[in-house]
Amino acid sequence: MKQFVVIGLGRFGASVAETLAENGFDVLAIDKNPERVQSIADIVTHAVEADATDEEALKTLGVRNFDVAVVSIGDNVSANILCTLILKELNVPYVVVKAPDSLHGKVLTKVGADRVVYPERDMGARIANNLISSNVLDYIEFAPEYGVIEILVSEKMIGKTLGELALRSKFNVNVMAIKRGQELFISPGADDKILEEDRLVVIGKNENLEQLKSF
- Interface residues toward ligand ATP, by CB under 6 A: 8-12, 30-33, 36, 51-53, 72-76, 79
CB of 2 to ligand ATP, least distance (A): 22
Nearest-angstrom CA–CA distance, 36 and 9: 6
Integer-rounded Cα Rg, in Å, for the chain is: 21
Nearest-angstrom CA–CA distance, 73 and 59: 18
Closer Cβ to ligand ATP, 53 or 129, answer by number: 53
Which residue's Cβ lies closest to ligand ATP? 10
CB atoms within 10 A of CB 110: 10
| Distance (Å) of CA 75 to CA 57, 97, 114, 136 | 21, 12, 19, 33
Closer Cβ to ligand ATP, 115 or 160, answer by number: 115
Nearest-angstrom CA–CA distance, 24 and 28: 13
CB of 209 to ligand ATP, least distance (A): 28
CB of 213 to ligand ATP, least distance (A): 30
Closer Cβ to ligand ATP, 84 or 129, answer by number: 84
Closer Cβ to ligand ATP, 112 or 119, answer by number: 119
Closer Cβ to ligand ATP, 96 or 178, answer by number: 96
SS3 breakdown of the chain: % helix, strand, coil, rounded to 5? 40, 30, 30
CB of 80 to ligand ATP, least distance (A): 8
